[in-house]
Amino acid sequence: MKYRSLIVCLVILLLLIPLALASLPSETTLNKASQSVVKVLAKNCGDHPSRAATGFVWQRANQVVTALHVVAGCDQISIRSEYRGAVRGARLLRVLKNADLALLEIDEPLDLPSLQKSAKKPALHDDLVALGYELAAPSISSKNLQVSFGSSRLADLLPDRVSEEIRRAGTPSLSLEILRLQGHLVPGLSGAPIVNDQGELVAIGDGGLENGAASISWALPVAQIEALTRSQESMTPTIIAASSHFAASLETSRGQSVVCGDMTFTKLRTRLYGELAASSDDPVGLAQIQQMAQIVGLDIDQLQFDIYEHLDTGATVALPAGLALTSHGRECTASQYQGALTLYLGSSMARSVAAVDTLSIQFENSIAAQTGLGWEPDPIWSYPMAQQRFDGFR
């Protein structure tokens, strides 16, 4: 029996938008603000044995704000202060389910300073910085962000399938006011303080809702903390169950990182196809795949995929679980079935819409030169033009 070799080519092109000169906090300002930031550790959480995220001291030395989905349903909560080099136990003091916020009380205060709230809301294109423990890292780091244009309602950020899941869960509120960001909050930054150039608190990092292979994140305006400190809500089974929808933000490990062209992709999680399909924003593409699986008698829902992500932008690639992604010059490759199936992955940063087409053609020509093969688009498996996502990405 003869087998044909199948080559799959995937190029990720991101359009870089020229921005004004950034106004970011100085190193001294960040060092001062980071003294208030803590790592939040939660154990015995039912669906997840452990969770790790970020929090910060607010108003009192024994109070820490974090994201509710991180600590909901967990039997043991602790905080670690890198500044003091100490760990303390904590308990859930208040919850605000509509905003996915939690207020923790520390058993033994560590004399940590509280962050100061900004007196004004950040404006469009303002530069901001998130401080926290991305991917459960042992030390704090910063991530540059920018306020982006768009609706400030959470419902308008989410695709229909994800909105329906949240509506059934009842938390967070789909009418929640949010701050839209240009930039990507990776796992571990849930509950992270987002500060302006003066080191003042303007928002709290949140999100981690899965949208197929990708994840969705946003920020909560600092005004939500005032409602949290007054809240009389109690923890309920509904809140605990809803925390499972934030699965993308609950991962606590960093896997293999591979350089593919202009971007480095890091393995963050593994998912069943059925889990990815449940929240995907490409129903047409999924229908094609499922139809093909039925023809060959494949139970596709039980197939596992490794999710690789570009941490700065959130660009995501899903590969069959266990398939090794290897860097080769400007591209990465992954092979299966003794080379019968080969995937080529490339990435570039484009500075104009016209450059996107040029870079795509260059990528195709590069693969053709390496393999000696030519091809043309399969109309069944190809879109005639770039597809725009609900959040503006193509």
pLDDT tens for residues 223-262?
999 999 999 998 777 677 666 667 656 655 667 899 998 8
Q: What is the pLDDT of residues 262-320, one digit of tens each?
A: 889 999 888 888 878 776 767 777 778 888 888 878 888 888 999 898 888 888 888 88
**Summary mean pLDDT of the chain:** 84
Name the more confident of 368 and 219.
219
* pLDDT band (50, 70, 90) for residue 19: very low
User: Does the domain made of 35-145+183-249 have the CATH classification 3.30.365.10?
Assistant: no
Both tokens of 261, joined, read: 């062209």
Question: Which stretches of the chain are assigned E, i.e. beta strand?
Answer: 6-15, 37-43, 50-58, 60-67, 76-81, 86-96, 101-106, 127-132, 141-147, 181-182, 193-195, 201-211, 214-221, 257-260, 263-272, 304-310, 316-320, 326-328, 331-336, 341-350
Q: What is the pLDDT of residues 177-193, one digit of tens each?
A: 999 988 888 889 999 99
| Least-confidence region, from 29-38, 112-121, 371-380 | 371-380
Three-class DSSP category at 142: strand
User: What pLDDT, on the 0 to 100 scale, is given for residue 16?
Assistant: 54
- In terms of average pLDDT, the best of 40-49, 77-86, 275-284 is 77-86
Q: What is the pTM of this model?
A: 0.80
pLDDT at 8 over 60: yes
Q: What is the pLDDT of residues 335-391, one digit of tens each?
A: 887 777 788 888 888 777 778 778 888 888 888 888 877 777 777 777 666 666 655
- In sequence order, the 6+-apart residues with CB closer than 8 A to the CB of 291 are none
C-alpha–C-alpha distance, residues 284 and 342, integer Å: 24
